[in-house]
Amino acid sequence: MAILRELNIIETDVLNDDPVRPHIPKSARLSDGRQVFVLEDNGEISAVICVAYTDKVPIDEFELKEFNSFDGNCAIFYTVWSYKKGAGRLIIQRVSDHLKKRGWIKRYITLSPLTEMAEKFHTRNGAKLINKGDKCQNFEYFMEEEDA
């Protein structure tokens, strides 16, 4: 059974494996308004996702940094990778469900590289392309509201 949890500070070496944004320092990923989640399966990390909270949709890394907000209503998935087939999709789903419980997150957006692989991954998993810029593209995952 896969378990979602926040990255433990002693496990930050896993961030060196980031294939999308390896240049972002660990300190920035773990600062206020940011979180890193891992999906653990049988005691091993199977996927990692870095999330920034903002009040606006960033179109590049500069805006991601500028729009950072501890209590922002947008969850920006700015990098995700997996070590196991299907774990990337599962971590996005689990993190979205986890954040939905907070109540103030209204939008689930990616800051994805301009690659066919990223585009296929997100559209195959139900996200819609909302912006294609010079350096990045944004996809939005629409979470269904639960009935009260």
Give the residue numbers spanning the domain of 74. 2-141
Q: Is residue 147 part of a domain?
A: no
Q: Is residue 48 part of a domain?
A: yes
As for how many domains the chain has, the answer is 1
Asked whether residue 148 is domain-assigned, the answer is no
Q: Is the dihedral of CA 107, 72, 29, 57 positive or negative?
A: positive
pTM of the model: 0.92
User: Does the pLDDT of residue 145 top 80, yes or no?
Assistant: no
H helices within the chain, ranges in order?
Answer: 26-29, 61-66, 87-100, 116-124
59-106 pLDDT, tens per residue? 999 999 999 888 899 999 999 999 999 999 999 999 999 999 888 899
* CATH number of the domain encompassing residue 52: 3.40.630.150
Residue 90 is encoded by which pair of tokens? 């599962």
Q: Is residue 146 situated within a structural domain?
A: no
Sign of the alpha-carbon torsion through 111, 132, 117, 25: negative
User: Is residue 71 assigned to a domain?
Assistant: yes
Q: What is the C-alpha to C-alpha distance for residues 68 and 113, in angstroms, rounded to an integer?
A: 19
